[in-house]
Amino acid sequence: MPLASINGNQVHVDEEGFLTEYGEWTEPLAQVLAAQIGVELTEAHWKAIRFLRSDYREHGETATIRRVSTVGGIATKELFELFPKKPGKKMAYIAGLPKPRGCV
Amino acid sequence: MTTQIAPAPIPKFDEADSGRKLAIICSKGNLDMAYPGLVLANAALGEGLEVHLFFTFWGFDMISKKHMAHLKFTPLGNTATHMPQGLGGVPGMTSMATSMMRRQIASIGVPGVPEFLEQITDAGGHLWACQMSADMMHLHKEDLYDRVEGIINASDFIEMTAGAQLLFI
């Protein structure tokens, strides 16, 4: 995966710009990633992002919208408000994780 | 010599699908045939599409309060189960095959039909019931899942889904 720079940080990303190294993500970097896709992070956003990070660490897969809702306890409606249109991919991008693989 | 490191690409989340619509006609009431429409509707909503589901004929079972939580699966006439066809007609086979399929679906974290419809509508999906089917089966709005927005005729549906991509299941 190519090395690229995001706001002065050198990180590995895939061809779409998703981070590929779990350990290269930091919270300040997430602020930059979010701003790049027009999301301003509030505490509600952070709750979802932190769930994605810890769930990935434990299970090795990016949580789907359904999993963030049923396991992470954030309602589907709220996720669509926090990360409009494409919550699954937007959350994964900001959390520095691959796109969710699961269909549901 | 230093190498210039390129800035990372930024995914174009909001460009590609703006204005894209998907309409899915659900015409089957078997458990296994309920899922393709639900899975695709859910996926399309997660991609930011406007999604309309139209339930007609046997698909009415997916939104009828009486049947939606009890759809069944039969191996009869389905060679892809790789069982001798005669077995499908054995008494009790439908309920056995149904509970096996329900377990398999639940084991991969996929919800049952009512919960799936709840998730789809929470994500902004629209549910519509077919007027002709309602008339034929003598069903009214109160017999249907609460989140069905209305009983509409085929012309209404066609009009509402102008420009949409359409799937018939």
**Considering the domain boundaries, does residue A104 fall inside one?**
no
Domains and CATH numbers, chain B: 21-77+86-168 (3.40.1260.10)
Do residues B18 and B159 touch, judged by C-beta distance below 8 A? no
- Cα torsion B25, B127, A48, A11 to 10°: value is 30
What band does A29 get if pLDDT is binned at 50, 70 and 90?
Answer: very high
- The 10s digit of each residue's pLDDT in B104-149 is 999 998 999 999 999 999 999 999 999 999 999 999 999 999 999 9
Residues of B in Cβ contact (< 8 Å) with A90? 13
**Considering the domain boundaries, does residue A83 fall inside one?**
yes
Query: Model pTM greater than 0.80?
Result: yes
Shortest CA distance from B20: residue in chain A: A85
pLDDT value of position B1: 47
pLDDT value of position A32: 95
Per DSSP, the three-state class of A82 is helix
Q: Number of A:B CB contacts under 8 A? A: 78
B124 touches chain A (CB under 8 A): yes
Q: Which two tokens stand for residue A80?
A: 């669509």
Q: Among residues B43, B97, B98, B89, which one has the least CA distance to residue B69?
A: B98
Average pLDDT, chain A: 94
- The 10s digit of each residue's pLDDT in A78-89 is 999 999 999 999
More confident residue, A8 or B102: B102
ipTM, two decimals:
0.89
Please state the domain count of chain A. 1
Residues of A in Cβ contact (< 8 Å) with B46? 65, 86-89
Report the DSSP beta bridge partners of residue B129: B55, B151
pLDDT value of position B68: 96
pLDDT value of position A1: 65
Q: What percent of chain A has pLDDT over 90?
A: 88
Min Cα distance B135 → chain A (Å) is 33
pLDDT by position in tens, chain B (length 169): 456 788 899 998 877 557 899 999 999 999 999 999 999 999 999 999 999 999 999 999 999 999 999 999 999 988 998 988 888 889 999 999 999 999 999 999 899 999 999 999 999 999 999 999 999 999 999 999 999 999 999 999 999 999 999 999 9
B136 touches chain A (CB under 8 A): no
Picking from A2-11, A43-52, B131-140, which range would have the lowest pLDDT averaged per residue?
A2-11
Where does residue A9 rank: exposed (0-12), middle (13-18), buried (19+ CB within 10 A)? middle
What is the extent of the structural domain holding A30?
3-94
Residues of A assigned a catalytic role? 103
A99 touches chain B (CB under 8 A): no
